[in-house]
């Protein structure tokens, strides 16, 4: 199932974190679907990310430069926008940064979510809170995590995302459901795509290394992650939001890749090095051992109940990333959104 343009055409939508990687891709896709897109976010994280390079601002009906830790500013922006749908992606999303500044990580991820949910105007009918595949507690065994598995997290980022899930569930049960506002959470695997400029992520680190002629330092090459192109989970977010507007699916959902795309970091780096002039070195990081060595998601629920499935495999994702950096970022972004939305996917599925 793909997003339905009839649902989104003319609908007022607020995307928090729209200057970030996933938020910018989502804002452009919503605009292509005909939605009236508004943004609420901190300033862009860098000058060479998708928000600036793909000129996302041009697709917006309005935007508010707001720190989600400021409850008054968040409330004012929500009131001024009066959205029908809120897609909450604003976050401190870097695991290693959470070790350096755990207080800010908790304040943004947990406090920011509280600020959004406590300030929803009566115009809102549906809210999707995007958390993380790292919100689960018992991941050491490497089995695929299901939505009913226990929440937890040994590092500040993961724990803050588990807490974000609890915040969303508590608001849904205590006040939002009775107001007729449907709230769901989405837990996606590791996303890849053009325009990511965050530190300590494989693809943007590889892009920077290739441009600088410097070595790519890989600190945890054996870690297995559920890699997927950013359009895969975003399609799931949009389909889920459509269900929320129909009064269904107000719960937690996983959006991960096929089993064949759960790969070690070293595998992904090797594929990138075949495309770009990369010298790869293995570095050390004492904090790497605090992250789960293997992380897998079970997305059976989304497949069976939402009709969702990832349309692009990891090799296709890598091709799309290379294409994105080879030409005009805005044109490449819109072309890839269009291709994802129209291509027939006949690949056999390994769940």
Per-domain residue ranges for the chain? 5-191+230-260+297-317+328-342
- Whole-structure pTM over 0.85, yes or no? yes
Token pair for 261: 């795309």
**Beta pairing, strands 224-226 & 144-145:** unpaired
Band of pLDDT at residue 28, cut at 50, 70 and 90: very high
Q: Which has the minimum average pLDDT: 156-160, 197-201, 311-315?
A: 197-201
Q: Give the separation between CA 208 and CA 199, rounded to whole angstroms.
A: 10
For 307-334, give one letter per residue: b (16+ CB within 10 A) or e: ebbbbbbbebbbebbeebbeeebbebbb
Report the alpha-carbon distance of residue 233 to residue 311 in Å, rounded. 10
The tokens of 148 are what? 């009913």
| pLDDT tens, position by position, 147-171 | 999 999 989 999 999 999 999 999 9
Per-residue pLDDT of 202-244, as tens digits, reads 999 999 999 999 999 998 899 999 999 999 999 999 999 999 9
Task: Classify domain 5-191+230-260+297-317+328-342 at the CATH topology level.
Answer: Rossmann fold (3.40.50)
All residues at 6 or more sequence positions from 339 whose CB lies less than 8 Å from its CB, including other chains: none
Q: Where are the alpha helices (DSSP H) in 213-256?
A: 231-245
């Amino acid at each position: 199932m793909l997003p339905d343009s009839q649902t989104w055409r003319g609908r007022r939508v607020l995307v928090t974190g729209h200057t970030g990687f996933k938020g910018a891709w989502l804002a452009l896709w919503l605009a292509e679907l005909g939605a009236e897109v508004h943004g609420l976010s901190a300033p862009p994280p860098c000058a060479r990310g998708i928000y600036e390079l793909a000129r996302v601002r041009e697709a917006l009906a309005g935007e508010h430069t707001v720190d989600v830790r400021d409850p008054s500013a968040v409330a004012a922006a929500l009131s001024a926008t009066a959205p029908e749908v809120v897609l909450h992606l604003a976050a401190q999303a870097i695991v290693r940064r959470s070790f350096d500044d755990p207080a800010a990580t908790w304040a943004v991820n947990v406090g920011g979510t509280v600020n959004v949910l406590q300030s929803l105007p009566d115009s809102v009918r549906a809210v999707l809170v995007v958390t993380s595949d790292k919100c689960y507690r018992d991941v050491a065994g490497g089995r695929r995590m299901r939505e009913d598995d226990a929440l937890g997290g040994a590092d500040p980022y993961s724990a803050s995302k588990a807490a974000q899930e609890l915040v969303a569930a508590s608001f849904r049960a205590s006040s939002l459901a009775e107001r007729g506002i449907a709230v769901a959470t989405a837990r996606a695997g590791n996303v890849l795509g053009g325009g990511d400029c965050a530190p300590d992520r494989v693809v943007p680190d590889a892009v920077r290394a290739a441009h600088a002629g410097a070595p790519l330092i890989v600190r945890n090459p054996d870690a297995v992650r559920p890699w997927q192109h950013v359009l895969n989970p975003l399609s799931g977010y949009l389909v889920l939001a459509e269900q929320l507007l129909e009064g269904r699916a107000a719960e937690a959902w996983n959006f991960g890749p096929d089993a064949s795309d759960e790969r070690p970091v070293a595998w992904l780096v090797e594929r990138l090095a075949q495309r770009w002039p990369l010298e790869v070195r293995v570095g050390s990081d004492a904090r790497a051992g605090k992250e789960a060595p293997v992380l897998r998601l079970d997305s059976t629920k989304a497949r069976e109940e939402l009709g969702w499935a990832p349309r692009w495999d990891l090799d296709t994702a890598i091709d799309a990333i290379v294409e994105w950096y080879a030409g005009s970022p805005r044109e490449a972004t819109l072309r890839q959104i269009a291709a994802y939305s129209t291509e027939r996917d006949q690949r056999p599925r390994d769940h």
